[in-house]
Amino acid sequence: MKVWIQNNSSTPIQLQETPLAGGGEGNLYAIETPNNYQHLVAKIYHPNRRTALRHQKILYLHEHPPKKFAQDSPITLVWPQELLFDEDNQ
C-alpha cells in the first residue's frame, strides 16, 4: 500500500500490507519505508469514514498537539503527526 504525506514534499510512504490493528474508523499499519518513519504507525480510514468533518478534526489535532509528558510518565498518546493521502488524494 502506498500513500503520500501532505506536509513533506509528497514523500512516498510504504506501509506493510497487513494491518497491525483495526476498528470502526480504520486500520493501523506499520511503516516500512522511509526508515525515519518506522517508529510511527499510519491510520488509514475506511472510505465511508473519510468525511469533511473528520478531515477538519484531524487537521485541528495536528495543529494542536498535546503538552509533552515526562519521560517516566505512564501516559501514552497516539497523535497525528502528518496527514496521509493516497494517489486519489483521499
Whether the CB-CB separation of 28 and 21 falls below 8 Å is answered with yes
H-state helical runs in 1-90: 52-63
What burial letters (b/e) apply to 13-30, b meaning 16+ CB within 10 Å? Answer: bebeeebeeeeeebbebb
Instruction: Indicate the SS3 state at residue 5.
Output: strand
- pTM score above 0.95: no
Whether the CB-CB separation of 28 and 19 falls below 8 Å is answered with yes
Q: What is the C-alpha separation between 42 and 38, in angstroms, rounded?
A: 10
Dump pLDDT digits (tens) for 28-70.
999 988 898 899 999 999 999 999 999 999 999 999 998 888 8
Burial class, 37, CB count within 10 angstroms (exposed 0-12 / middle 13-18 / buried 19+): buried
Question: What share of the chain in percent tops pLDDT 90?
Answer: 44
**What's the confidence (pLDDT) of residue 63?**
92
Q: Quick one: pLDDT band at residue 5, thresholds 50, 70, 90? A: low
